[in-house]
Each structure stands twice: as structure tokens, then as C-alpha cells.
Amino acid sequence: MYWFPHTDSIRKYLNYCVRCIYYLRKVCLDQILINFYYAIVQSKLQYGIICWGGATANKVVPILKLQKRIIRILCKKHRLHASFDLFKKLSILPVKHLYCYKVLKLFFIRSGYLNSRSSNTYSLRVNSQNFVVVPGFRTCAYENFYLVASCRLFNSLPDSVRNIRLHKVFLKTIKIWLLNKNYDEVEDIFTTVT
């Protein structure tokens, strides 16, 4: 699918949010700004991200740049300040990290880890090392979408995380795992052949 109209509308919306947060930071407390971020920015970013989050970099990078700008404004930092530590400080996931988080969350639920008797579980082919077999793909566009990305992400998790069976513990652990990975490390997960 061609995601430019959707990502462009998100980019325009985030531009509007940049202006709002810039003026609000002068009159609001930090916690109110964080709540505003989650209510207005995060909710828009995560809506349908499992579908559009695997789009090509030229569609996702402009959104990431605006998200970094918003984070710098929230932390009252200069526009050239490094943003990765600010994301960790606020415990906010960058857009590609958020995509990974949402994909792993859905994969955990659908794979049957949440409830072994669930009717909507995938029939996963798991080898002896607890790795999921990545489905084959013929096009580069399909490589980063949910079916392939979810298996690659799950396989890239440490053994201790892959063996977690409690939903809340799994989500908390993968959020910490993702916050400790920089932008390049997350991108490498999708380019590594498993």
C-alpha cells in the first residue's frame, strides 16, 4: 500500500502540535505537558501504526523528526540537543520503536501466549531454540509489514524475554528493551535476515 497520504496527514497534525506545545510549555507544568503529549500526539501516532509503521523511511522519518522536536520542546532543550536520551528520560518510544512495541504486543496476544485456549491464535512453527520461523516474502515492501516484522522482532528478543508468559510483564520488559536500543539498532532488526 501507498502510505504517503496517511503519513502526510500525521506530519501536518504534528506540525500543529509543535506550535501548541511550544506555547503551552510557558504556562503549564511539566506533568501536564507530558499528559498532553500522550493524549494528543501519542494517540495519533499509535493509531493504525501496525499498518503504516512498516512503510519506507522517506515516509516515517519526517514524523520521527517532528516527534524529536516535540520531545525537545517538552524538555525545554535546544533544537540541536540529542533527543535519544530525552526519550529515555520521559519513557516515550520514538515512532519506529512504538511500531515495534505495538507489533510485539499484537504478536504476543495472537500467538497464544496470553491464553493458550484462545481461538484466534497463530499456528506458529517454532524450532528448538524457541525461534519463530519467518514467513517467506518476495518484495521489499512486504518485508517490514506485520507478518514478517512480528516474527523478526520476536526472534530478536533475548531468550529471557521470549519465555515470558504474562502479558503485563512482557509489555513492560519489551518497552525497557526498546528504550535501550538506539535508532540504528532498531532499524537493523528489520534488515537482518533471520
Contact 134, 155 (CB under 8 A): yes
**What is the predicted pLDDT for the residue at 186?**
86
Which stretches of the chain drop beneath a pLDDT of 70? 1, 113-130, 139-142, 191-194
Q: Give dist(CA 193, CA 136) in Å, integer.
A: 11
**What is the predicted pLDDT for the residue at 1?**
59
DSSP per residue over 5-37, as a string? HHHHHHHHHHHHHHHHHHHHTTTS-HHHHHHHI
**What is the predicted pLDDT for the residue at 165?**
86
Summarize pLDDT for 76-93 with one digit per residue, the tens: 998 889 889 999 999 999
Max Cα separation, the chain? 57
**What is the predicted pLDDT for the residue at 123?**
46
Q: Is 97 exposed, middle or buried (0-12, 13-18, 19+ CB in 10 A)?
A: buried
Contact 155, 194 (CB under 8 A): yes
Q: Could you tell me the pTM of the whole model?
A: 0.85
**What is the predicted pLDDT for the residue at 57?**
84
